[in-house]
Amino acid sequence: MFKPLALALFGATLALAAPSQAQETIRFAVTDIDGAESLQREFGPFKAAFEKLTDLKVQFFAVSGRTAAVEAMSAGQLDFVLTGPAEYVVFKARTQAVPVVGWQRPDYFSQVAVLASGPIKSVADLKGKTISFGEIGSTSQHLGPAQALADFGLKYNVDYKPVFVKRNVAVEALKRGDIAAIGLNLTHLQRIRESDTKTGFAVVARGRDLPNDVMIASPKVKPETVAKIRKVFLDHGAELMKAVTTGTDDNRKFLGGVFLPEVKDTDYDYVRAIYATIGITEFTKFIE
């Protein structure tokens, strides 16, 4: 008469002793953050808030740049990546990455700036001149400014000479007259004006708003995990955005923005068109 009771008690003991289901871990990288320390500093608060809301464990995966990130995803070492529009196009071509949620950057557009007191007063005045761009392949520092000039009729690397130098060096070159203009985004121009209050800058060309930064998923990630994450961004966007932008410098670009879980691949066709503007029609490699 005691055997059924003993078996029941034994089963209950095994159930209590069995480990709980392991928490799912996702590996997450940001292409424009170099090094583990910087990644923790800029995205630590977001990681904490995200883990609390999703019951997923985030493992930071530090990368040395966009090439390392796309290779890691191709090798199955990365699950999610936050990257820019130009980079997304390459990720899509190389890995068939899935866009999960757009990270809006308010006033995210490219400009071509000149000295306010200089001889350049219009885009036409830039014909035959040297124009500095930022990081080669950057959406807002290279592709966007090149498209803005093309919209005004200047052909890339035909009607002007493009060069690539760091912004602080370019500003000094602009003031010396070594270059005629700088291609950059609004945030960069604002920072230049803040640090150089004695020099006036004017904008002769402005591009349309650019597609947003985007969090992408490896095609190997389970669809239900992707859907779960989209829903969290939809339901708790304000809380997550506060975590992204609080106490960081690099993430100031997202201030005032929202998350866009309805993001889709065709949102980045404009970037593909800009690539064509500078003569690139294959998207399997980053511009070097």
In the numeric block, which tokens belong to residue 30?
């940001």
List, for residues 236-254, the tens digit of each pLDDT value: 999 999 999 987 888 989 9
Q: What is the DSSP letter of 142?
A: I
> For residue 173, what pLDDT band results from cuts at 50, 70 and 90?
very high
List, for residues 84-120, the tens digit of each pLDDT value: 999 999 999 999 999 999 999 999 999 999 999 999 9
CATH 3.40.190.10, the chain: domain bounds: 25-105+211-277, 110-206
Within 10 angstroms of residue 106's Cβ, the number of other Cβ atoms is 13
Find residue 201's DSSP bridge partners: 115
Cα–Cα distance between 236 and 49 in angstroms, integer? 10
The CATH classification number of 25-105+211-277 equals 3.40.190.10
> For residue 17, what pLDDT band results from cuts at 50, 70 and 90?
very low
pLDDT at res. 263: 97
pLDDT at res. 22: 62
- State the average pLDDT over residues 254-259: 96
Whether 118 and 204 have beta carbons less than 8 Å apart is answered as: no
pLDDT at res. 34: 87
Task: Work out the percent of the chain whose per-residue pLDDT is above 90.
Answer: 86
Whether 83 and 69 have beta carbons less than 8 Å apart is answered as: yes
- For domain 110-206, the CATH architecture is 3-Layer(aba) Sandwich (3.40)
